[in-house]
Structure 1
Amino acid sequence: MNVPMAFYLFSEPVFTAMDIYSDRHDDPKDSGSTQFFSKRILNLMKGMMSRSPKDALRETSKKYQSIDKFLEYFLEWEEGAKKNKMPFLSQSTCYGLKVTLKATLEIFAFLKQKCDLQYLMTSRLNQDALENIISRSCRESKLYTIFFF
Structure 2
Amino acid sequence: MAERPHLTINRLDAERLQRLIEAAGEDPVAISLEEELERSEVVDPEEVPADVVSMNSQVRFTDLTRRREIVRTLVYPHALNATEDGVSVMAPVGAALLGLHVGDIIEWPLPNGNRTSLRIDAILWQPEQDGLFHR
TM-score by length of structure 2 reads: 0.24
Q: Which structure has the highest strand share of the two?
A: 2
Q: Which structure has the highest helix share of the two?
A: 1
TM-score by length of structure 1 reads: 0.22
